[in-house]
């Protein structure tokens, strides 16, 4: 397997529940050396430039549990183009990297991983909980509400038997959104 054609992609946020392609295999996975954080202002998918939301990125340190989706062989090039458009071309706030993932069945695979670009203007860094909550409450963009994004992430982590206490606390603090 060559790093130029990784066969897996790591999902730690919306890629867990909405990869946007038919994955031949999906399995729980851990990325070492990086952790999940609400650290990116969303001005498109979960907010607007006037009222940004806050979405997940990967920051150095610790480890992150999520899922690995195996990329299809037949439509590999189309799926790679889709991922580049989805994760990079839209706002340019993620940097694509290939990192080793440890799969739940013990395999280690090279996977595409989308890391937060800490030099990008939409990089928020680690915000205090009250400030993060303000962005989560106000965010609503092309793919829905920011609060739904946080709750969907938590639901999928729970289904995998995983916890993210910081996300849980934010979700508990946010009242249901008015429609």
Dist CA 102 CA 116 (whole Å): 21
Tokens of 163: 């916890």
* Closest of 58, 91, 77 to residue 164, by C-alpha: 58
Q: List 34's β-bridge partners, or say none.
A: 60
Cβ–Cβ < 8 Å for 139, 42:
yes
Dist CA 82 CA 75 (whole Å): 11
Cβ–Cβ < 8 Å for 61, 116:
no
3-state secondary structure of 130: helix
Q: Which residues are catalytic?
A: 87
């Amino acid at each position: 397997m060559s790093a130029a054609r990784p066969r897996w992609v790591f999902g730690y946020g919306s890629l867990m529940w909405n990869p946007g392609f038919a994955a031949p295999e999906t399995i729980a996975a851990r990325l070492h050396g990086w952790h999940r954080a609400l650290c990116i202002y969303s001005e498109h998918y979960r907010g607007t430039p006037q009222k940004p939301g806050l979405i997940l990125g990967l920051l150095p340190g610790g480890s992150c549990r999520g899922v690995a989706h195996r990329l299809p062989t037949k439509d590999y090039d189309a799926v790679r183009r889709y991922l580049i458009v989805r994760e990079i071309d839209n706002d340019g706030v993620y940097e694509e990297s290939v990192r080793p993932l440890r799969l739940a069945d013990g395999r280690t695979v090279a996977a595409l991983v989308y890391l937060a670009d800490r030099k990008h203007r939409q990089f928020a860094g680690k915000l205090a909980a009250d400030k993060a909550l303000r962005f989560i409450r106000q965010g609503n963009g092309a793919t829905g509400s920011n609060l739904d994004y946080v709750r969907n992430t938590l639901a999928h982590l729970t289904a995998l038997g995983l916890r993210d206490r910081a996300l849980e606390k934010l979700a508990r603090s946010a009242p249901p959104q008015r429609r």
